[in-house]
């Protein structure tokens, strides 16, 4: 096997991947850890749903929202600059920005007061944030 595909080691659960730390990546162990973490969150979500108050007062509310929007500004600007330069790192920045846009849309809608505020949040989510997230996802998927 080494003569045909020298990048593949015969050791179980390991494969040489160019650019990885030490040349070896153990996917099964990482997959187990990530899957276990995801499954462990399910009972935690049930606990949170039953114990968290439905309303609360937050002392740094504006700081949290301004920080999230600053992160979006950096992500969108960075993605645009990297795409303009043809830089392959645009894919990673675009993927992260897409995720942040979805989170921003979710929290905008989930934390809005009923009425006009909620209508505005839904409008911005559907008309701006989610389409921009899709655009960033397309950039991420088309880049090497």
pLDDT tens sequence across 93-116: 999 999 999 999 999 999 999 999
Task: Give the domain range for residue 36.
Answer: 1-52
Q: Mean pLDDT across the stretch 66-94?
A: 96
Tell me what pLDDT residue 56 has. Answer: 87
- Res. 19: pLDDT tops 90: no
35 and 82 belong to one structural domain: no
75 and 111 belong to one structural domain: yes
7 and 46 belong to one structural domain: yes
40 and 76 belong to one structural domain: no
How many domains does the chain divide into? 2
Tell me what pLDDT residue 27 has. Answer: 73
Burial of 79 by CB count in 10 Å (0-12 exposed, 13-18 middle, 19+ buried)? buried
The pLDDT-based confidence of 15 (bands split at 50, 70, 90) is low
**CA distance linking residue 92 with residue 78, whole number of Å:** 10
73 and 115 belong to one structural domain: yes
71 and 137 belong to one structural domain: yes
Chain-wide mean pLDDT for the chain? Answer: 87
Backbone angles phi, psi at 25, to 5 degrees: -120, 130
- Res. 20: pLDDT tops 60: no
Tell me what pLDDT residue 10 has. Answer: 46
Percent of the chain surpassing pLDDT 70: 81
């Amino acid at each position: 096997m080494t003569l045909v595909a020298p990048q593949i080691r015969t050791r179980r659960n390991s494969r040489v991947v160019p650019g990885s730390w030490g040349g070896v990546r153990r996917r099964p162990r990482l997959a187990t850890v990530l899957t276990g973490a995801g499954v462990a969150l399910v009972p935690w979500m049930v606990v949170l749903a039953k114990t968290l108050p439905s309303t609360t007062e937050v002392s740094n509310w504006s700081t949290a929202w301004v920080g999230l929007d600053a992160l979006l500004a950096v992500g969108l600007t960075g993605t645009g600059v990297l795409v303009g330069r043809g830089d392959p790192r645009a894919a990673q920045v675009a993927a992260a920005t897409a995720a942040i846009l979805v989170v921003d849309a979710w929290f905008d809608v989930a934390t809005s007061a009923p009425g006009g505020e909620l209508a505005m949040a839904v409008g911005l989510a559907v008309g701006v944030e989610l389409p921009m997230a899709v655009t960033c996802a397309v950039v991420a998927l088309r880049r090497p």
